[in-house]
Chain A
């Protein structure tokens, strides 16, 4: 019998196929192998991108030249525009505003063909630190209410350029999914006076069945209510609402668990495309985030979301997270 499971935070029900679970070999996914070619994110092509906003580079090297480790530039095709006023307005029953926001691209390393799993820990640490630097800077702009950090790796996951990169989007309003998480977490907090994510971590560490990796500061696990097969969550054990408040020691621990988790995922699914997203509390508003807990959600691109999911917001997970965790643990 399949099982219906309810996400404790947002209340979404998911159908988990526990009868005839799909095994890794049952997924026919689009493999992703970089083709190379002229790349605006590689050394020597710095002039092909908008000028850099921020950069970690060797001392003595000039801006927009080689010699960098991590580089941040404005998106050449931004979905939102940095200048101007929001100008919220209505037209009949419809509401709208100008598309104000920031859209930046963070080039993770100079290497065209290296995914996170192939980078050195130290390189991943620089990348994560740069994410924090940009997050903290964008947060100063009071027009922004939410900052979203996400990564599309591979064509099937929506990456339009091969060279691994992460994107930052600063939004003038907290997006719907974030609001749902926050409301759900808030309701739980009002009821129990505890953070729901801290409770999830406690239960996951107790159950063990869904844990992939654990270190001093983080756990990585397949969430009890996964929308997608082999979905993974990385959570800091220490309660914190904002990703950018992470300490140096935690950055090292995060680099390690992120690298190992992606390595394990790609060992089960060779040349996989995937997305990950950093969920963090909204900014420039209600700063009381005792009830919110930042985390990273990793979504492998193994299946196509079909009509049923679009129509209902009700997802089907063909592989139970318990089984997925077993495969990932190896």
Chain B
């Protein structure tokens, strides 16, 4: 019998359908028809092919926009949003409009031409995680922005380009995005009722039940969520409550790098290097103004959502927001637990 499961935070129902009875290994990514490899503007020595850098780790104090770096952040060549200008909120009949002001940055995670973040060293991933934090803190200074989304598109099926150089993106938006608002609102409702953080409760229950846990390393937990939307969807949560990604200490970031690398490697080895997305959900900027609520620190809990792109999202999902997950998260967790890395 298929099961309907409800996400405890945002209330989304998901159908866990096991009727087609596929085994986890049958979801392996198809053998890729000759992986396209376009000329790379992100490798060391190609700095003139990107816009001037915003941020870089240069251990030997080399000149800006020249070789000799470990990691670089540059503005997107084709930004979704522009940094200059005012929001100019306005109406057009029943429609509301504002200018597309925001920031769109690319984090080039290494100077080597490596495609998958899973193949970076833990040390290098730690640098990437530090960089996210530094960039978020810097963008917070711009009062036009309310939120910074950190995300990664790996592979064409995940919206990536044919340039196989691992990188992530940051987008600062002048509004709180809908998904984020839903999570915040759901978490607040739970907090109002229970006076506890819903994510902390979720972590406690997962640690007791164990069947959806993938790995637990040094203060972090990787789980297949109870109401997963996609097969092999994976969340990484800090066990210690914190609403804000940027407040993590240096040791936690090293630990997070280890968990992230472990999970990404398990996906790569277990599922034949699938395309994937990940996103970091952290609290919005907490500036005192209308609409701000004071319990965000208590009721929200930052986390990372990793979504391998193994199935196609079809009309049903778009239309209903009701996802069909063809494999139970208990099975995907078991499968990933057993992949040796």
* Residues in A lying within 8 Å of B, measured CB to CB: 1-6, 8, 10-13, 15-17, 20, 77-81, 84, 92-99, 146, 148, 150-152, 156-159, 167, 169, 171-173, 175-178, 180, 196, 199-200, 203, 206-207, 224-225, 275-277, 279, 297, 299, 303-308, 310-314, 316
Contacts and interface: CB of A to CB of B under 8 A. Distances in A.
B145 interface: no
Nearest to A204: B93
A151 B182 contact: no
Contacts of A148: 316, 319-320
A80 B314 contact: no
Contacts of B152: 307
A146 B15 CA distance: 15
Name which of A2, A156, A207 has the most chain B CB atoms within 10 A of its CB: A2
A95 to B, nearest CB: 4
Given A8-B95, A307-B153, A312-B279, 15 more contacts: A6-B95, A13-B178, A77-B20, A93-B198, A94-B6, A99-B1, A150-B314, A150-B315, A158-B313, A171-B320, A176-B322, A304-B159, A311-B151, A314-B175, A316-B80
Interface in B187-238: 198, 201-202, 205, 209, 226-227
B110 interface: no
A308 B152 CA distance: 8
Interface string B32-53: 0000000000000000000000
Contact of A307 (B101, B151, B175): B151
A5 B315 contact: no
SS class, residues of chain A in contact with chain B = mixed
Contact of B1 (A84, A151, A199): A84
Interface residues of B, number: 75
Contact of B322 (A6, A171, A206): A171
B81 A95 contact: no
B278 interface: yes
A306 B277 contact: yes
B319 A8 contact: no
Nearest to B155: A304
B97 A93 contact: no
A4 B121 CA distance: 39
B168 to A, nearest CB: 9
Given A17-B80, A93-B202, A308-B149, A275 B314 contact: yes
B67 interface: no
Nearest to B179: A313
SS class, residues of chain B in contact with chain A = mixed
A128 to B, nearest CB: 17
B205 A93 contact: yes
Interface string B298-324: 000000010100001111101111101
A4 B99 CA distance: 6
A306 B275 CA distance: 11
A173 B11 CA distance: 12
Given A95-B6, A304-B159, A2 B82 contact: yes
A87 to B, nearest CB: 10
Contacts of A167: 315-316
Contacts of B17: 79-80, 99
B158 interface: yes
A5 B95 contact: yes
Interface in B77-106: 78, 80-82, 85, 92-101
Given A279-B319, A305-B159, A312-B149, A8 B2 contact: no
Contacts of A95: 5-6, 8
27 contacts: A15-B100, A77-B20, A78-B19, A79-B2, A95-B5, A96-B4, A96-B6, A97-B3, A152-B314, A152-B315, A157-B312, A157-B315, A167-B316, A169-B316, A171-B322, A177-B321, A178-B321, A224-B92, A299-B315, A305-B159, A307-B151, A307-B278, A307-B307, A308-B149, A308-B151, A310-B151, A312-B147
B157 interface: yes
Nearest to B10: A176
Contact of B279 (A175, A176, A307): A307
B165 interface: no
B58 interface: no
B324 A79 contact: yes
A305 B81 CA distance: 17
A312 B6 contact: no
Nearest to A146: B320
B174 interface: yes
B57 interface: no
Contacts of A200: 94
A157 B315 CA distance: 7
Contacts of B149: 308, 311-312, 314
B281 interface: yes
